């Protein structure tokens, strides 16, 4: 049965967060970017329930990113959404003047059977809006799926190179989470094979932090 990344409440675990070390990510990074009159200490994370933290084991990746980066991080993840939703709200997100915007969509697009061209078109609109606003945008590729969602990996595998190509064309950073996750078994919630376990959310936070 199809299972979309659904809406749901998620409570942060302060005790776990207190154990996360501050510091840089594992891929180097920036920190000297010109973000115009935006707040260089504000990061907006836009995405579906992987960003929201629904059905993820442990704190969401945005909450971990706040610890690693030392910046204020706003979580605009909404479960069940696709890249089209992201394109529809990016103007509202940018009105908050974030210096950085982390974008992670694609899982629901793949589950819904959206074409790579359609998803990339939406992501390009997000990227171009961020560039026009002088907010540094960082785009993540969708992670692999396992277990009951393994059948959607052909869609994921077609989308990943299209996202990477778009980022190269637009001259914006891309974090290839799909490659970083390998076969996904180490990083995904085994209950659905779609959302993150503790290590998965932590790796996403580190990868985005490496580009901030």
Per residue in 62-78, pLDDT (tens digit) is: 999 999 999 999 999 99
- Reduced to 3 states (helix: H, G, I; strand: E, B; else coil), residue 85 is helix
pLDDT number for residue 17: 39
Q: Indicate whether 55 pLDDT > 90.
A: yes
Q: Please state the rounded mean pLDDT for residues 35-44.
A: 98
Q: Please state the rounded mean pLDDT for residues 164-180.
A: 98
Q: Indicate whether 3 pLDDT > 90.
A: no
pLDDT number for residue 164: 98
Q: Indicate whether 13 pLDDT > 60.
A: no
- 136-140 and 39-47 beta bridge pairing: unpaired
pLDDT > 70: percent of the chain: 85
- pTM for this one? 0.86
Residue 33: pLDDT band by 50, 70, 90 thresholds?
confident
Task: Report CA torsion sign: 67, 29, 92, 108.
Answer: negative
CA separation for the pair 172, 129 (Å, rounded): 12
Q: What is the mean pLDDT of the chain?
A: 89
pLDDT number for residue 32: 56
Q: Indicate whether 6 pLDDT > 50.
A: no
CA separation for the pair 59, 61 (Å, rounded): 7
Q: Please state the rounded mean pLDDT for residues 26-31.
A: 39
Q: Indicate whether 25 pLDDT > 50.
A: no
pLDDT > 90: percent of the chain: 84
Under CATH, which number does the domain 36-209 receive?
Answer: 3.40.50.1110
Domain locations along the chain = 36-209
Q: Please state the rounded mean pLDDT for residues 145-152.
A: 97
Q: Please state the rounded mean pLDDT for residues 80-85.
A: 98
- Decide if 194 contacts 5 (C-beta within 8 A): yes
């Amino acid at each position: 049965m199809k299972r979309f990344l659904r809406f749901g409440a998620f409570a942060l675990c302060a005790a776990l967060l207190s154990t996360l070390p501050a510091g840089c990510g594992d891929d180097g990074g920036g920190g000297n970017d010109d973000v115009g009159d935006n707040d260089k200490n504000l990061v907006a994370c836009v995405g579906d329930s992987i960003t929201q933290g629904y059905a993820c084991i442990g704190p969401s990746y945005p909450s971990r990113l706040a610890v690693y980066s030392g910046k204020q991080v706003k979580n605009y993840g909404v479960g069940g959404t696709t890249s089209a939703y992201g394109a529809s709200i990016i103007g509202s997100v940018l009105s908050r003047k974030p210096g950085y915007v982390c974008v992670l969509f694609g899982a629901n697009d793949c589950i819904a059977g959206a074409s790579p061209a359609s998803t990339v078109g939406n992501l390009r609109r997000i990227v171009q809006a961020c560039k026009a606003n002088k907010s540094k945008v960082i785009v993540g590729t969708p992670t692999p799926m396992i277990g009951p969602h393994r059948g959607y990996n052909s869609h994921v595998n077609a989308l990943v190179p299209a996202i990477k190509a778009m980022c190269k064309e637009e001259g914006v950073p891309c974090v290839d989470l799909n490659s970083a996750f390998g076969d996904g078994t180490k990083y995904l919630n085994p209950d659905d094979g779609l959302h993150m376990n503790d290590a998965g959310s932590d790796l996403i936070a580190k990868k985005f932090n490496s580009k901030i």
